[in-house]
Amino acid sequence: MTSVFWSEIKEELLSGATKKGHPFRYFTLGTVGLDHMARLRTVVLRELTEEMDLLFYTDQRSKKIIHIKENSKVGMLFYHPEKLLQLKVEGLATVHTGSETYLRHREGIDPRGKRDYTTSKAPGSALEGQGPLDYLKEDDYFCVVEVTPFKIEYLRLSDPDHIRVRFSKDQGLWTGEFLVP
């Protein structure tokens, strides 16, 4: 019975990764570093693999990478306002900086997009004013983050009853169970 919802999850996440304008294209990523403070930010879903891994890009010098290195457990939140559908994903993040995954994605980036990873200062660094940024000519700090989920919660707000399903991965197999919304 939960397989219908699992199929919908896969379809919506794949659309988020491949269709510009889809509500799941942008999602909230949560990390917790050694300071035990939850940090949230919006990132762009770049790929959904056959194994349900989710990939996004970032600058290697960003705080999110520091947090992931300190604690690889991350949370992801997706929301579709028209369908009143929310997905919560919990998983383990891996940072790719020289792997085949990294090279495949790096080659596919538009040159304008690649520029985002070439600032001379790290993201979040203080600036003197609002002036133009300095960019590196040769180097870049591009990396790919791959999240391997171990739990996905589906919540659809509907009338007369909301629907909530939790999918958990154990030894490579996903199982689903209905929850009280």
Residue 158 CA to residue 166 CA, distance in Å, equals 17
Residue 134 has pLDDT above 80, yes or no: yes
Domains of the chain and any CATH numbers: 3-123+138-147 (2.30.110.10)
Residue 122 has pLDDT above 90, yes or no: no
pTM: 0.94
Q: Report the range of poorest mean pLDDT among 96-100, 125-129, 149-153.
A: 125-129
CA distances in angstroms from 139 to 59, 121, 136, listed in the order given: 12, 12, 6
Residues 82-108: pLDDT tens digits? 999 999 999 999 999 989 999 999 998
In this structure, the number of other CB atoms found within 10 A of the CB of residue 12 comes to 20
